[in-house]
Amino acid sequence: MTDLTKLTLDAALKGLKNKSFSSREITQAHLDAIDAANPQLNAYTLVTADKALAMADTSDAKLAKGEGGALEGAPLGIKDLFSTKDVRTAACSNILGEFAPPYESTVTQNLWDAGAVMLGKLNMDEFAMGSSNETSAYGPVASPWRRAGGDNAKLTPGGSSGGSASAVAADLCLAATASDTGGSIRQPAAFTGTVGIKPTYGRASRYGMVAFASSLDQAGPLAKSVTDAAIMLENMCSADDKDSTCLKLDIPKWTDSVGASVKGMKIGVPKEYRVDGMPAEIDKVWQDGCDWLKAAGAEIVEVSLPRTKYALPAYYIVAPAEASSNLARYDGMRFGDRKDGANLTDVYETTRGEGFGAEVRRRLIIGAYVLSAGYYDAYYLRAQKVRTRILKDLQAVFQDVDALLTPTTPSAAFALGENSADPVSMYLNDVFTVTANLAGIPGISVPAALDAQGLPLGLQVLAPALDEATCFKVASALEDAASFTAKADRWW
């Protein structure tokens, strides 16, 4: 029998429906693949094998009767940021200890309602604060990709959804949930040759997602193809009374947009994204993307987003400020890990000082600083105003163009440890992605080429709020033209 883990989600769903194989078979194939790969890749922090097989058997019973939901029997991986009932959810932080939520996140509940099977929880940067998966309390994730003819150094799959990206790229799940606060879906997608989309803010419920920066956080999938990403997103998003910022809108059939023509579309190329020191190969893949879309009948126009370079510094005020408020709940009293201390304040300070890792401590202290008396106007309020200007710049550009095409990241994946000395150099990974979070618009990353070292490079498509359909149309035109089929050579 063919290796069931190599199938796309779309192909697997068809095979399950046709009874070419059972959910138990494809679930077991993935569990075996995880067993073999996880000691090297560290993509999963928890494998729920018994639960997976029980869910698979339930699905098989439904499939046998010709019943079942849109994802019936499909084994998925879940980022450790999503609360899963009675299954440890730690956001890869020590401070949550063995926290097992007594409730389920809306996004994962939607997936189970559609018949999906949970393989386990996926590694991530602690509280989603990181771009390399190196801040996880469960250790870094390795990408399945390695530099060709190189030193065999372990490379980052990106972050914060590093476990999700590595697991999808290494065929350890058919698709995975992820989340994106500054680029945490799209940057890992670019680094691992996978497809990732962050929808419009409010499309997916944040209920049961461990909060990082509430005005920026948004769930989305990492998947093997644009079609798979559309299938996943359709089944993750919903209106939800449990999240007051969740949009009360019907979810479009995004799979219909995949493969739809881009003829006559106007695609903007923002000139400010041509940053100093951008590698020639990134520039080339961007030009290739323009040429592909032109050949498909779209018109390419240069546009200007004059405040582009201010997006990242504004983000590093807004996100830590929101985080310092959100993470105040981790006091060691009602859940999570408590450390002893001389008095109550000492208990709080020791619990949080030891429970949070270095990057989380750094961001919480910055957040408290920029919100504190005397600095609030100079930092936080100013950043919120810059955010308004960035949004207005984008809205003006979208009067003229249907979508924007940019590189997803300023470089290919780097080696673990290579970029961790200087926080700002790590933050620069998100320079092309963060604008979409500040403005709340959708963005998708699609693999476009391999660089000279044999590593994937991604292209990003940004569209106006609520127009994920355009993201999918343009991304699928790029996917067709790039015909990116490369997979990492198995070394694990």
Partner 1 sequence: MSVTPDDVRKAARLSRIKIDEDRLDHMTGELNGILEWIEQLNEVDVDGVEAMTTPVEMSLPMRADTVTDGDKQSDVLANAPRSDDGFFVVPKSVE
Q: Does 193 bind partner 1 (CB under 8 A)?
A: no
**Rounded least distance, CB 474 to partner 1, Å:** 21
Q: CA 278, CA 432: separation in Å to the nearest integer?
A: 12
Active site residue 79: yes
Stretch binding partner 1 (CB under 8 A), from 94-102, 149-157, 254-262, 482-490: 94-102
Q: Of residues 8, 354, 418, 486, which one binds partner 1 by CB under 8 A?
A: 354
Q: 159-178: which residues touch partner 1 (CB under 8 A)?
A: none
Judged by CB, which is closer to partner 1: 114, or 394? Answer: 394
Active site residue 184: yes
Active site residue 339: no
Q: 101-160: which residues touch partner 1 (CB under 8 A)?
A: 101-103
Q: Does 423 bind partner 1 (CB under 8 A)?
A: yes
Judged by CB, which is closer to partner 1: 234, or 322? Answer: 322
Q: CA 88, CA 101: separation in Å to the nearest integer?
A: 7
Q: 302-321: which residues touch partner 1 (CB under 8 A)?
A: 307, 309-310, 313-314, 316-317
Rg (CA), the chain: 21
**Rounded least distance, CB 388 to partner 1, Å:** 4
Q: 374-413: which residues touch partner 1 (CB under 8 A)?
A: 375, 378-379, 381-389, 391
List the catalytic residue out of 160, 164, 225, 257: 160
Q: Of residues 39, 248, 264, 276, which one binds partner 1 by CB under 8 A?
A: 248
Q: CA 193, CA 171: separation in Å to the nearest integer?
A: 12
Strand pairing of 456-462 and 403-407?
Answer: antiparallel
User: For residues 198 and 443, is the Cβ–Cβ distance under 8 A?
Assistant: yes
Binders of partner 1: how many residues, by CB under 8 A? 73
Judged by CB, which is closer to partner 1: 58, or 214? Answer: 214
CB atoms within 10 A of CB 492: 13
**Rounded least distance, CB 335 to partner 1, Å:** 4
Q: 321-350: which residues touch partner 1 (CB under 8 A)?
A: 324, 328, 331-338, 341, 343-350
Which residues are part of the catalytic machinery? 79, 160, 184
